[in-house]
Amino acid sequence: MAAKLKKGDTVIVMAGKDKGKEGKIASVDPKSNKAIVDGVNIAIRATRQTQDSQGGRIPKAMPIDLSNLSLKDANGKPTRVGFKMDGDKKVRYAKTTGDVI
């Protein structure tokens, strides 16, 4: 099945402890059906000190299920994503407004 949400999309969290928050998708894992969203589902992870980082208790964005995310449309409201043919090209569109994403 084609991925309806992609890296760089602005999404709104629909369920869970971060319900109502919004952020940009950093990465998507279609195999496990999860995405990492900046500023959402933050957990504190203890990391060892390296040459690059100081180490300690570092906040890290954890994966969130794609079913709990909804794309933010031009009006700032959550919308579902559909596919349609635009000429000979397959495009994503917002179901609430019908606008091509």
From the list 83, 57, 96, 84, the residue with the least C-alpha distance to 3 is 83
CATH number of 10-71: 2.30.30.30
SS3 64: strand
Q: 71: exposed, middle or buried (C-beta count within 10 Å: 0-12, 13-18, 19+)?
A: buried
Domain range list for the chain:
10-71
pLDDT tens by residue, 24-76: 999 999 999 999 999 999 999 999 999 998 999 999 999 999 999 999 998 89
Whole-structure pTM value: 0.84
Token look-up 């109502």 returns: 20
Exposure string over 72-87, b if 16+ CB within 10 A, otherwise e: bbeeeebbebeeeeee
pLDDT tens by residue, 65-99: 999 999 999 889 999 999 999 999 999 999 998 88
